[in-house]
Amino acid sequence: MARGKEMTEPGKIWGVGVGPGDPELLTLKAHRIITTADVVAYPAPNNGNSVARSIVADYLKDNQTEFAIRISMDPAQFPPRDIYQRAADDIFAHSEEGRSVAVLCEGDPFFYGSFMYLFERLAIRKSVEIVPGVSSMTASAAALQIPLASRNDVISVIPATLDASEIKERLKTADMAIFIKVGRHLGKIKTILDEVGLFDKANYIERATMQAEKTSSLADIVEDTAPYFSIIMAHRRGAAL
């Protein structure tokens, strides 16, 4: 059987990375699955649009069933197990009735992707194929024109939500530090980077590859909070060159 032929298989379930924002950063495989699946599911906030869906909106067809998985953005409720369980049950039911299901995930599904909460519930019942996507980490490096790592460099991806003391520990062994989930922790990260002598080497990006993308050195950012889609990168040598 030719590779890709299995994509029309009835009842198949995929977790599909749709990349960081630019619809052209979708893989050919993701495009094929998204345009042929019977059901397209995606996470969405309780109120508002799904970012993952907006990335592929131009590719969706009228004859596809759409299924928004409404998830509260309140960190105190995260991850909302009951919602993921119900969504997994619904996806499984579609699949059992012979409909193929593409579950969209912004960026890459297994790089801090929300899809993994569904994956752990679905994969125990049925095989699930993961289609990797361009992650925000690699997209941000490209947009900032800052190589991530060379030779023996160690990259550390650090959620900005961690305590300051843990972040400082992690920074000790990193050549390149990439802070995700910056949001309301921007001020804290600035202070830490200043204390460890990395502030002037740090760069900031928000909404990488989306229409409102913004890039800057961290020193030029006066605010102490950032949008949800933002990343800070600091390489010990300035860049991995």
Q: Would you tell me which residues interact with ligand SAM (CB under 6 A)?
A: 20-21, 106-108, 111-113, 135-136, 140, 180-182, 205, 207-210, 228-231
The smaller minimum CB distance to ligand SAM, of residues 53 and 107, is found at 107
CB atoms within 10 A of CB 211: 7
Task: Give the shortest CB-13-to-ligand SAM separation in angstroms.
Answer: 18
Task: Give the shortest CB-99-to-ligand SAM separation in angstroms.
Answer: 25
Residue nearest to ligand SAM (CB): 107
d(CA 12, CA 3): 15
Backbone angles phi, psi at 76, to 5 degrees: -65, -25
Residue type, 195: E
Task: Give the shortest CB-109-to-ligand SAM separation in angstroms.
Answer: 7
Burial (CB < 10 A; 0-12, 13-18, 19+), residue 79, is exposed
Task: Give the shortest CB-134-to-ligand SAM separation in angstroms.
Answer: 8
The smaller minimum CB distance to ligand SAM, of residues 100 and 136, is found at 136
Q: Helix, strand or coil for residue 14?
A: strand
The smaller minimum CB distance to ligand SAM, of residues 54 and 125, is found at 54
CA end-to-end distance (rounded Å), the chain: 44
